[in-house]
Structure 1
Amino acid sequence: MFTRIVKMEFEAENVPAFLANFETVKSKIRNYPGCLFLELYNDKKEPTIFFTYSKWEHENDLENYRHSELFKGVWATTKPMFRSKAQAWSVDTLYSE
């Protein structure tokens, strides 16, 4: 299992549209094969910065999602709303309580 963290910064006027779209697709992403967990975070000081935090059973599960029609649709809607390029990290859990 591993975790994927994606940082996204939006133009302020696009935040409501992003949140509405996320509400529509979150259960589809969460129920995608291999996705074990999904949360969306908002920066405390900068309301245009968001993070997705997802856990995946295997790396190929994330890759399958990234090549799916679901992801292509989500990304096609989300990417034009960005103020800057998204950043992503795949990390292993070293400690969890």
Structure 2
Amino acid sequence: MLVRIVRMTFQEGALAEFQSIFDGSKQHIRAFSGNCHLELLRDPTHPNVRMTYSLWTSAEALEAYRQSDLFRTTWAATKALFAERAVAFSGEKLEEVIPGDNLSKIT
């Protein structure tokens, strides 16, 4: 599983337009082959910052999305609203801790 986080800082007054872009594309992104999860997050201390958190079956699945027309058109419209360059990074999920997991090992 590949985790992708993208942090975006928007120009003053651009959040409503970004939300409209996101609302129009989120179901298409979520339905894209290889996407397992999509969330939109808000930075609690920086009101013009939004982040996307997405899970992909593989780096190849994410790359296929990044090469798609859906990504190109969505990203072009979103990028025009930035106040500064977006920061994106990916990580491979190694472990997920589930509440109560390994309780039998506690002595």
Shorter-chain TM-score bucket reads over 0.9
1:26 aligns with 2:34: no
TM-score by length of 1: 0.96
Q: CA deviation at 1:47?
A: 1.0
CA distance in 2 between counterparts of 1:95 and 1:12 reads: 38
Gaps of 5+ in 1: none
Deviations 1:24-82 (A, max 9, x none): 10000000000000000001111100110000001110000000000011011000100
CA distance in 1 between counterparts of 2:79 and 2:7 reads: 12
Match of 2:55 in 1: 55
Gaps of 5+ in 2: 99-107
Match of 1:13 in 2: 13
- Secondary structure in structure 2 of the residue aligned to 1:13: coil
Match of 2:105 in 1: none
> Percent same amino acid among aligned pairs?
38
Match of 1:73 in 2: 73
Q: CA deviation at 1:92?
A: 1.9
Runs of 4+ in 1 over 6 A off after TM superposition: none
TM-score by length of 2: 0.87
CA RMSD of aligned residues (A): 0.8
Amino acid at match of 1:64: A
Match of 1:35 in 2: 35
| Structure having the larger proportion of residues in helix | 1
